[in-house]
Structure 1
Amino acid sequence: MERKKAGNKLPFFRQLKKDAGNYVLLAPALIYTLVFGYLTYPYMVIAFEKYNYKKGLLSDFVGVKNFEAFFKSTWAWQVTRNTVGLNLLFIITGTIASVGLALILNEVVHKRFLKVAQSTMLFPYFISWAVVAMMLYALLSTDTGLINRMLTGVGLEKISFYSTAKIWPLILVIMRLWKGIGYSSIIYLATITGMDSEIYEAASIDGASRWKQTTKLTIPLLMPTVCILTLMDVGRAFFGDFTMIYSIIGDNGVLMPTTDIIDTFVFRTLRLSGDASVAMAVGLYQSFVGFLLVFGVNKLVKKFYPDGALF
């Protein structure tokens, strides 16, 4: 028996040769994670140095001065507030809308209509944010935008969208929903379709309406999935969608009070000033708080709803 068990354990190189195809498919992801994940860890020391491109990691040590430079600036509170605030808006509205859409699609009986509807709602997810930014500009431009042309056509004044900061959180939420709701709802819909049909049959025999089945069965059974996905999103509440924000907002300083996030601030700091130390300090601050958020929120979920905890 011992020889048989030992024979089942192939040596590493024999196993590598046997599953060569699988490892080739896995290689790009492993290399990407290794290079941009683990091999970048030593460079975090830059946050505590006055980085010099000639000296590299052996630059002069300055302690926490780079962190002080950020936290004493007028930008620290603004970008932190915007990052967390926008992400919370995205998480709350996105979760509610995605779950609601999945519940609605689950009630569709006509299969052909369901396929067309899913394909239509999924399509925006694959559109680049750069293209979305151009589409949005075509709608909101002060001079040539479709909305302002319609307003002037009925005798109303134009709205200068690109110089009115307070309305942009709403615009960004709408664009985020339009682009991502179809993709997000697929996960919830897959969970719903995988639920035991016998439970619904028993509820129907007992006289439960479709509304009762949805509120008393579907939603409670869906909650563990909702909690896990929401927990993962909350863990990244300190990491904004750089591609979305920078594609749409760019370097428009008028809109920065409500749209500038940590990611765009780090990019702009490094691009304009070339100070890698401050940029790394802000990035390290972002990562550390995000790490605490994951564990803190998971602990709360584990206390009040154990089935929804991630670990």
Structure 2
Amino acid sequence: MKRIGEFFRDLNKNRVLLLMVLPTTIWFLFFSYLPMAGMVIAFKEYRYSRDGFWASIVDSKWVGWQNFKFLFSTNDAYIITRNTLLYNVFFIIVGLVVAVLMAIVLSEIANKRLAKVYQTGMFLPYFLSWVIVGYFVFSFLSYDKGMVNHIASWFGADPTQWYTDKTYWPLIIVLVFLWKSIGYNSVVYLAAIMGIDKSLYEAAMIDGANKRQQIWNITIPMLKPLMTILTLLAIGRIFYADFGLFYQVPRDSGALYSVTNVIDTYVYRGLKSTGEIGMSTAAGLYQSVIGFVLVMTSNYIVRKFDKDNALF
């Protein structure tokens, strides 16, 4: 009874803070935790019935691990896993370096009004849908009307069939990803830089440190906790791929599947052709479980070296 009384006293003491987080808690409950019951579809041959969603789950045939075999029993299993992993590893590493670099550059611009203009210009692509970005890329790479081929023709070069030649697409995918996302990511680090105590830089200047030394010995170490946390969160989604980037930008060109096909696009095409909802649910569960394991493992490794920078 004593513990119950202490619980209600703590509840009353923190009632204002609890009310503030209540809307978010309700949102997560309804849109993140309750849908987890649908994971059972991954182990069933789901067939929709007129009696509703839950009745469909109950009536569907139990097939065990059959839905998971779709990802691993085909010749494309290695390709989609390789593409998903390698692209995301590259996105995490290069995205982190470029975002931090751009944040530092923006913070060092003396004219703050001009810095705001640059910041806004970099942030704008983040709000564009991948459909629009796909048409932007097409306007550059179209065989007969694309700007790149027109410029190449001025120098006497032959036009390139960009949407059938897979040679350049790993680089194109990475560049488009950086163009669209780097503005948002750099703003996060820029906000952290703005919060660094200015007296640290003043003390460094008195000691004779130049700008490069200030950045290397003050800015980057102060950003290290944020860099670690965001990297750990990104690792949790390393088996996920941005569907729009890999589907809309290459325009679903079959000739590019070997370098643009990832787990998400593969599952979508499979769902579109077969209608097997259980298969797509199995793929989502597989991605979530692997991501959870990677986050826990990465966080454990970080805690071993620096407990303060760990996610939890």
Regarding TM over 0.5, the answer is yes
Matched to 2:12, the amino acid is K
CA deviations 1:104-160 (Å, max 9, x no partner) are 112111122111111111111112211111110000011110100111121101111
SS of the residue aligned with 2:109? coil
Residue 57 (str. 1) matches residue 60 (str. 2): no
- Distance across 2 between alignment mates of 1:7 and 1:53: 47
Is 1:48 matched up with 2:43? yes
Alignment check: 8 A CA contact 2:134 2:251 kept: no
Q: How many residues align?
A: 300
Q: Name the aligned partner's letter for residue 215 of structure 2.
A: T
In structure 1, distance between residues paired with 2:57 and 2:162: 45
Give distance in 2, aligned partners of 1:198 and 1:246.
48
Q: Per the alignment, do residues 35 and 9 of structure 1 end up closer, same or farther by CA in structure 2, a change over 3 Å counting?
A: closer
Structure 2: give runs of 5+ residues left out of the alignment. 50-54
**Cα shift at 1:53:** 2.0
Considering only aligned residues, what root-mean-square deviation do their CA atoms show, in Å? 2.6
Change (3 A) 1:35 1:245: farther
Q: How much has 1:241 moved relative to structure 2?
A: 0.6
1:44–1:284 contact (8 Å) kept in structure 2? yes
Aligned to 1:38: 33
Q: Is the counterpart of residue 291 in structure 1 residue 292 in structure 2?
A: yes
Query: What amino acid maps onto 2:57 in structure 1?
Result: L
Contact 2:229 2:309 in 1 (8 A): yes
Is 2:281 aligned against 1:280?
Answer: yes
- Structure 2 residue corresponding to 1:9, chosen from 9, 12, 15: 12
Q: CA deviation at 1:35?
A: 4.1
TM-score calculated relative to the size of structure 2: 0.88
Q: Which residue of structure 1 aligns with residue 245 of structure 2?
A: 244
Change (3 A) 1:170 1:8: closer
Q: Residue deviations 1:159-203, cap 9 Å, x none?
A: 111112232121111111111111111111111121111221111
Q: Distance in 1 between matches of 2:30 and 2:196?
A: 40
TM-score (norm 1): 0.88
Distance in 2 between residues matched to 1:119 and 1:69, nearest whole Å: 44
User: Can you give the 5+ residue segments of structure 1 that lack an aligned partner in the other structure?
Assistant: none
Query: What's the secondary structure of 2:203's corresponding residue?
Result: helix
CA distance in structure 2 between the partners assigned to 1:246 and 1:50 by the alignment:
27
- Hey, what does 2:178 align to over in structure 1? 177
Q: Indicate conservation of the 8 Å contact 1:142/1:161, yes or no.
A: yes
Sequence identity of aligned pairs in percent?
41
Bigger drift between 298-307 and 85-94 goes to 298-307
Which residue matches 1:71? 72
Aligned mates of 2:158, 2:103 — CA distance in 1: 39
Contact 1:266–1:283 under 8 Å retained in 2? no
State the Cα distance separating 1:267 from its structure 2 match. 1.6
Displacement of 1:30 in angstroms is 5.7
Distance in 2 (alpha carbons) for counterparts of 1:103 and 1:43: 44
**One-letter amino acid of the structure 2 residue matched with residue 42 of structure 1:** A
Report how far residue 307 of structure 1 moved. Answer: 2.9
Query: AA paired with 1:43?
Result: G
**CA distance in structure 1 between the partners assigned to 2:98 and 2:277 by the alignment:** 39
Mapped to 2, the partners of 1:32 and 1:301 lie a distance apart of 30
Partner of 2:52: none
- Using the TM superposition, give the Cα deviation of residue 32 of structure 1 relative to its aligned residue in structure 2, in angstroms: 5.3
Offset at residue 204 of structure 1 (A) = 1.1
Deviations 1:244-278 (A, max 9, x none): 22221343211111111111122221121101122
Tell me the secondary structure at the aligned position of residue 46 of structure 2: strand
Segment of structure 1 superposing worse, 205-214 or 30-39: 30-39
| Per-residue CA distance 1:23-57 (angstroms, 9 max, x = gap) | 8xx75x66654444223222211222222223621
Aligned to 1:201, the other structure's residue is in SS state helix
Do the aligned partners of residues 123 and 70 (structure 1) sit closer, same or farther apart at CA in structure 2, a change above 3 Å counting?
Answer: closer
